[in-house]
Structure 1
Amino acid sequence: MAELSESTKKNLVSELVHAARDWFAAFSEEGTVEIMVNPDGQVFVDRLGGGMERLGTAGRDSTLRFLATAASLSGQAVTPQSPVLETELPGMEPFFGARFEGLVPPVVSGPAFALRKRASLVFSLADYEERGIFSRGPKETEGLWYEGARSPRDLLSRAVRARRNILVVGGTGSGKTTFCNALLLEMASENGRVVMIEDTRELQCPVQNRVELRTSETVDMQKLLRATLRLRPDRIVVGEVRDFSAYTLLKAWNTGHPGGTGTIHADSALSGLSRLEQLASEGGIGTAASRPVIAEAIHCLVFIRKTSSGRRVSEILAVDGLSAGEYRTIPLLESLWSPTKGECQ
């Protein structure tokens, strides 16, 4: 299909705004993370630091019109025969490349979608500390990069400077990508070359010497990882680790490209390692073979979760190889941390 002209794109974007009239004001708010329209027409909004709340309702016709217009912008069609639409909205105002996942019957009872905004603000580790998102203070430990850390922020800053590989773990909507952006901000003070791989553009990287890669229908993450190794990266960053390519990433981190970061879905910091084992097994790599690679490649696990009062970083673990075939981890946080007092409570 021929690429749409700029004027056609602008017209279609105007149609999107009109179809979004039931919830567009909330979408435009600075703190909004995601808008979700359910099959019954109920609209929910997820706000940064505020959690999810019901916004109101959207008409079935306007939701279908939004879906159809989003499909037209990406050169696709959403029909009963092709009922799932995955795309990004145009990078122009007001949607700025937001990630879109839409569905129509028969896979749902009514048209539904989730529209996730790209991060417009990049929070630093200092911001996380000031907002009290670090649940705990540093545990007194001895050894390597985490020795003598004065705060969770200092702990992670040391990990970045020491070129440790950091895996950010959490559930859906927990804030993994936003936290990963904070780690990328820490990397900006260096002169290294960063290569980033994503399915959809969500990471915000201020590093000047960077290459941003994105998967497509014909080029998967595995292929991009192989290409990355020929682009002379100092650090490799993956937006979300989700398939067998995780094993390729681990080997890359192990062979001359330390200091990377990525995110993964799991329910605890330690479960992030189990999830990596599962992904490796999808390519026929058993636990006996994958576990030593994982233990060597992952140096730091950060678990972030969504609570009723907002996001919280509740675990930071150092991974120190294997002991009797099991992961040896060192918890680096303990007792509640007060960012104003700078001490454990």
Structure 2
Amino acid sequence: MKQVQTGQIQEALKPEPELKPGDLLKFEGEVYTEKFLKKEIISLLKKRIKDDAAFFTDSINTREQHREKLYIAISSIINERYPSSGIRIDEEMLDAALSEIFGLGIVERYLSDQKVTDIFIQDTEMLIIKDGVKQQIGKVFESQDEVNLIVDRIKLASAKTFDQRVPFLNTELYDGSRCSIVIPPVSDRIYITIRVFNCIDFNLENLLELEMFDREVYTILKNCVLQKKNILIAGSTGSGKTTLLNTLVKLIPESEIINLIQDLPEIKLKNHPYVRMLTTRPKAREIDNEINQDRLVFETLRMKADRIILGEVRDCMAAYQLLQALNTGHRGSFSTIHADSAYDALLRLEMLAMEYGTNLNSAIVKKIVARAIDVVIFLEYEKDENLNIKNRKIKELALVERELSTGGDYKLSFLQ
């Protein structure tokens, strides 16, 4: 192992010679590994800034802005405590400090793992779902204080009221992951549930390779988008609705204007030149005004668009406004909905629209739904004997006829 020459911090920060993990560093006659010293420095930094409110003026959502601040603080500690160590501040060290001080600690490791879809925290223990398989990680936090710190950071970033009076918090993390937290007194302990946002840049060919559908369905899906069919994607949580929607919207011609409405930034259209993104805003505090789905759908009707994409139909007002939009010339639009089959998806959309007003006639709403939706896709995940998810597949692909049956029900032509 090579010995690093002692010297001033300026010399230590030079790019050459570069230290490698495992190299030995000498400090005051003692020899330490680089990894050990970096960990010690970050630990000292955490203690030093623990009660420094000014250091935490920015929220977790602006975490990248903290890198320079951390670099200065770490440099100061090296100068004061380890001036002759020869240690250098590299990207790995800054990332570790960023995660420990402004991030979510050990949770960051699983948020950045593209194979992890869900994280469950109960007290100091963690369970994850990776590649569809549940994995018991066990105790990952040294104490309840560490868990409380993570909760506080998430609360700070959300800017929402969250305490014993309002013991529920539903928010979005800095990377787009959905987070739900429940605390006592309504629960016996702290429960944190994170639906990890893994923005893997799939295209339709990738899903074909993953056997979500066969070549025939692949061709049908492409034609449905290009022929401007209104598509409703249905399934349970984790069935792949958003993944499929993300691949279909990439097929929209670049000449078309898209209005995109969503609660969380799950649908990505980075390379499309004409996308107007509208995002709902929950009421975080008493002084805030809530902006919900139906308001955004209503407003988007005033904005000239060729297609409307509603990330998910969640409430009755949004369902009603969406049906109005799809019946007023916005062909080739998309949305998703929670349902157990293609037929149930139409019933659920109808039911939500009916809840919008007591004076709505069921037969009329059915006709509106049948004329608004052209294609329903139902997705389902398959499980193995241990109830772990194996894969996600299109189970039903149905064309919706514009006229109801003689009995006044929906008429579906199943292609899958």
After TM superposition, the score normalised by the length of structure 1 is 0.82
Please name the residue that 1:164 is paired with.
229
Counterpart of 2:392 (choices 311, 325, 331) is 311
Higher alpha-carbon Rg = 2
Contact 1:304/1:311 (8 A) holds in 2: yes
Distance 2:382 2:223 in 1: 27
Distance 1:64 1:264 in 2: 34
Counterpart of 2:278 (choices 207, 213, 224) is 213
Please name the residue that 1:253 is paired with.
326
Residues 116 and 163 of structure 1: CA distance in aligned 2, closer, same or farther (over 3 Å): same
Q: Determine whether 1:104 maps to 2:163.
A: no
Contact 1:78/1:104 (8 A) holds in 2: no
Please name the residue that 1:328 is paired with.
411
Distance 1:8 1:169 in 2: 31
Counterpart of 2:363 (choices 265, 288, 305) is 288
For 1:105, the aligned partner's letter is P
Residues 255 and 7 of structure 1: CA distance in aligned 2, closer, same or farther (over 3 Å): closer
For 1:278, the aligned partner's letter is M
Distance 1:85 1:154 in 2: 42
Counterpart of 2:194 (choices 115, 121, 128) is 115
- C-alpha deviation, 1:133, in angstroms: 1.4
Distance 1:7 1:311 in 2: 33
For 2:207, the aligned partner's letter is Y
Counterpart of 1:127 (choices 196, 201, 206) is 206
For 1:306, the aligned partner's letter is Y
Q: Determine whether 1:44 maps to 2:123.
A: no
- The runs of 5 or more residues in structure 2 that have no matched partner are 1-55, 67-96, 284-289, 384-389
Structure 2 counterparts to residues 146-165 of structure 1, below 5 A: 151-165=216-230
Structure 2 counterparts to residues 9-24 of structure 1, below 5 A: 9-10=62-63, 14-15=99-100, 19-21=104-106, 23-24=107-108
C-alpha distance after superposition, 1:121-165 (max 9, x if no partner):
12112111111112xx5xxxxxxxxxxxx6111101000001001
Residues 86 and 160 of structure 1: CA distance in aligned 2, closer, same or farther (over 3 Å): same
Distance 1:124 1:186 in 2: 9
For 1:203, the aligned partner's letter is I
C-alpha distance after superposition, 1:49-105 (max 9, x if no partner):
534443334444333221111101222342111111122223xxxxx2322221111
Higher strand fraction (1 or 2): 1
C-alpha distance after superposition, 1:295-328 (max 9, x if no partner):
0111111111122212111111111121121101
For 2:136, the aligned partner's letter is R
Distance 1:36 1:286 in 2: 43
**% identical equivalent positions:** 31
Contact 1:67/1:78 (8 A) holds in 2: no
SS at match of 1:303: strand
Q: Determine whether 1:54 maps to 2:136.
A: yes
C-alpha distance after superposition, 1:160-190 (max 9, x if no partner):
0010011110001111111110111111x33
Number of matched pairs:
308
Counterpart of 1:86 (choices 157, 164, 170) is 170
Please name the residue that 1:147 is paired with.
none
Structure 2 counterparts to residues 156-305 of structure 1, below 5 A: 156-187=221-252, 189-206=253-270, 207-216=272-281, 217=283, 218-244=290-316, 245-284=318-357, 285-305=360-380
Distance 2:198 2:103 in 1: 23
Residues 175 and 107 of structure 1: CA distance in aligned 2, closer, same or farther (over 3 Å): farther
Contact 2:171/2:180 (8 A) holds in 1: yes
Distance 1:291 1:8 in 2: 43
After TM superposition, the score normalised by the length of structure 2 is 0.69
SS at match of 1:252: helix
- C-alpha deviation, 1:33, in angstroms: 2.3
More RCO (CA 8 Å, sep 6+): 1
Distance 2:314 2:179 in 1: 18
Distance 2:309 2:353 in 1: 18
